[in-house]
Amino acid sequence: MFEVSVEESFAAGHALRGYRGKCENPHGHNYKVRVTLTGEQLDNIGLLWDFKDLKGALGEIIERFDHQYLNDLEPFKVENPSAENMARYFYRETSSKLRTSTNGRVQVKDVTVWETDTTTAKYSE
């Protein structure tokens, strides 16, 4: 199996609904996201998926969130913008882009979201 990963970062604000403590109040994070892809077959030039395309797919999602208040944006108007829910959202969004452009040859293995340097949430299916 091959694996490739890219990481991107962005800044955003959020508040955790129903949380008892400081995180209930609006505050910001410098988030980092890592998306890891996996597959057995490379394409005809020896790539699993072009890093540029993966960065582009991730960048499209980040563009919506960068310097925004996450609680005001779908899907976090209802779902809590926790690192766990963000990891699942990034996973599903990048998975659907991959399915259409690689015909199932490449899958998203997992997505990790850093809320701080020492706290991460990872999602996979």
Single out the segment in contact with Zn ion by CB under 5 A; choices: 16-24, 44-52, 57-65, 95-103. Answer: 16-24
Binding mask 22-41 for Zn ion (x = CB under 5 A): -x------------------
Report the residue closest to Zn ion, judged by CB: 23
Handedness of CA 117, 15, 61, 87 (dihedral sign): positive
Nearer to Zn ion, 71 or 94 (CB): 71
User: What pairs with residue 110 in β-bridges?
Assistant: 36
Among positions 59-118, residues that touch Zn ion (CB under 5 A) are: none
CA–CA distance, 56 with 21 (Å, rounded to integer): 36
Minimal distance, residue 28 CB to Zn ion, in Å: 8
Total residues binding Zn ion (CB under 5 A):
1
Nearer to Zn ion, 12 or 98 (CB): 12
CA–CA distance, 114 with 124 (Å, rounded to integer): 15
- For 30, phi then psi, to 5°, come to -95, 100
For 68: left if phi > 0, alpha if psi spans -120 to 50, otherwise beta; the answer is beta
Residues within the interface to Zn ion (CB under 5 A): 23
